[in-house]
């Protein structure tokens, strides 16, 4: 499988992953999860800082309803088309589910190393979230606990 552009095989080497329990974390075999909407609200004014910055709506094409995952503090976002997903994980990551947390994020470590201002905008408790659907791999670094809603 082809790795993401500009990266080497083993892109995710060294990631220690744990399950993040959400309504889609254990989609059953035969499910087909897709990203229905991805809405990003930029923060330009002080009034907007309390508003949502990232909302991802995911649905199973075979079932009614949508799961909305909102991050009120999205520090950074990376989206990779699923066919570029290179793995590098030991074993089948999907056995853990479709929503995961990277416990020892090399991405956060690299951002801290490369950006002198990262610690100022990312509290120590920032987490690296991983969402796997059948069309995308979405990674989010956020300092806030995501809000999850079931929409009709």
Distance from C-alpha of 131 to C-alpha of 94, rounded to nearest angstrom:
11
Concatenated DSSP letters of 53-106: -EEEEEEETTSS-EEEEEESSEEEEEEEEGGG----SSS-GGGT-SEEEETT-H
Percent of the chain beyond pLDDT 90?
A: 13
**pTM listed for this prediction:** 0.79
pLDDT tens by residue, 118-128: 766 666 778 99
- pLDDT at res. 128: 92
The structural domains of the chain, with segments of one domain joined by +, span 17-151
All residues at 6 or more sequence positions from 106 whose CB lies less than 8 Å from its CB, including other chains = 14, 15
């Amino acid at each position: 499988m082809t790795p993401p552009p500009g990266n080497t095989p083993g892109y995710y080497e060294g990631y220690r992953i744990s399950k993040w329990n959400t309504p889609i974390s254990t989609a059953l075999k035969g499910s087909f999860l897709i990203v229905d909407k991805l809405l990003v609200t930029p923060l330009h004014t002080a009034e907007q800082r309390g508003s949502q910055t990232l909302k991802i709506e995911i649905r199973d094409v075979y079932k009614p309803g949508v799961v909305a995952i909102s991050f009120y503090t999205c520090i950074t976002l990376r989206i990779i088309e699923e066919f570029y997903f290179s793995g590098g994980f030991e074993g089948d990551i999907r056995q853990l589910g479709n929503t995961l947390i990277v416990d020892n994020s090399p991405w956060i470590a690299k951002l801290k190393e490369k950006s002198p201002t990262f610690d100022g905008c990312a509290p120590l408790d920032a987490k690296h979230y991983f969402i796997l659907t059948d069309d995308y791999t979405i990674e989010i670094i956020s300092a806030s606990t995501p809000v999850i809603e079931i929409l009709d």
